[in-house]
Amino acid sequence: GAGVSQTPSNKVTEKGKYVELRCDPISGHTALYWYRQSLGQGPEFLIYFQGTGAADDSGLPNDRFFAVRPEGSVSTLKIQRTERGDSAVYLCASSLADWGTEQFVLTFGAGSRLTVL
């Protein structure tokens, strides 16, 4: 597609429920990133995929959070047993992996706003 697509754009769930957020990156972008942004804060890194593998998942806050990218394109961020503190905008971004210049410019989706009641 022309841009990074994220679904759903808004998700309201109850505490304890399971949630999946989907990201469809720009075709051909091998690098895919998930960030979380709380009100008034900058994007906080969660996880980075290079192809199908999670190259760095050091930003995932705990084992309730998990992400996959099985075919190296679409990625799903999964949150188990949601808590009110998980409420935030979850941003996905993709990038070409230009190791020659090491200039990775991220293209972001519009985000998925998660509200946990």
Partner 1 sequence: SQQGEEDPQALSIQEGENATMNCSYKTSINNLQWYRQNSGRGLVHLILIRSNEREKHSGRLRVTLDTSKKSSSLLITASRAADTASYFCATPTVYSGGSNYKLTFGKGTLLTVNP
Residue 25 is a binding residue for partner 1 (CB under 8 A) = no
The beta strand positions in 8-100, using DSSP E, are: 10-13, 19-24, 31-37, 44-50, 53-56, 65-68, 75-79, 88-95
- Asked if residue 39 lies in contact with residue 101, where contact means CB atoms within 8 angstroms, the answer is no
- Report the residue number, 2 or 14, with the smaller CB distance to partner 1: 2
Sole binder of partner 1 in the list 7, 50, 52, 76 (CB under 8 A): 50
Sole binder of partner 1 in the list 25, 32, 43, 114 (CB under 8 A): 43
Sole binder of partner 1 in the list 63, 70, 99, 100 (CB under 8 A): 99
Burial of 44: CB neighbours in 10 Å, binned 0-12, 13-18, 19+: middle
Residue 110 is a binding residue for partner 1 (CB under 8 A) = yes
Taking the C-alpha atoms of residue 27 and residue 50, their distance in angstroms, rounded to an integer, is 14
Residue 111 is a binding residue for partner 1 (CB under 8 A) = yes
Residue 77 is a binding residue for partner 1 (CB under 8 A) = no
Residue 37 is a binding residue for partner 1 (CB under 8 A) = yes
